[in-house]
Homo-oligomer: A and B are copies of this chain.
């Protein structure tokens, strides 16, 4: 879908200089600038979130982003098989093996081979892992509140819904 030049952008007065520059440079070409801006802002926002989270929250607990995600997923969904855990954490299967090993050495999770099918392995929080996520998550959640503090509750819900459509679209392909 090419850019809809007939409709003025209601947010143009707040548009980042960045976005104005792009229109100034390429606005005469038939690109889809609305899609461009939403996709690139998703990426920039995610990079900012992760960078700040690692620096301000996770590094103090010796956790990587992925390590934190694993603890969080096990906390919410409970004991889980490796393949399912990798999928839920959005991590490659080889990456997960290494990160679970690290968390295991830190005493935060434990592996267990399944009796019904001894190829499979389940991962679960240890008591220490439970304490860790119970301590870290409230701080992480405050950080999430802070990052999104310039949005109202309704705006957060709308943003979450729009993003969900992009995520879901990806999942369908």
Contacting residues, chain B, for A77 (C-beta < 8 A): 21, 25
Binding site for B on A (CB under 8 A): 1, 4, 7, 9-11, 14-16, 19, 21-22, 25-26, 31-32, 34-50, 52, 75-77, 90, 137-138, 141-142, 144-151, 153-171, 173
Determine whether the beta carbon of B39 is less than 8 Å from that of A148: yes
Within 8 Å CB of A10, what residues of B? 157
A7, A43, A160, A170 pick with most chain B CB within 10 angstroms: A160
How many copies of this chain are found per oligomer? 2
Main secondary structure of the interface of A (DSSP, over half): helix
Q: Which residues of B contact A163 (CB under 8 A)?
A: 38, 41-42, 44-45, 159
* Residues from chain B with Cβ under 8 Å of A141 in the complex: 31-32, 35-36
Instruction: Determine whether the beta carbon of B46 is less than 8 Å from that of A46.
Output: yes
10 residue pairs A–B, Cβ–Cβ below 8 Å? A1-B153, A19-B160, A25-B77, A31-B141, A34-B160, A41-B164, A48-B170, A155-B162, A159-B159, A159-B163
Query: What chain B residues lie within 8 Å of A36 (beta carbons)?
Result: 141, 144
Closest to A152 in B: B34
**Residue from A9, A38, A52 with most neighbouring chain B CB atoms (10 Å):** A38
Interface centre among A11, A48, A158 (most CB of B within 10 A): A48
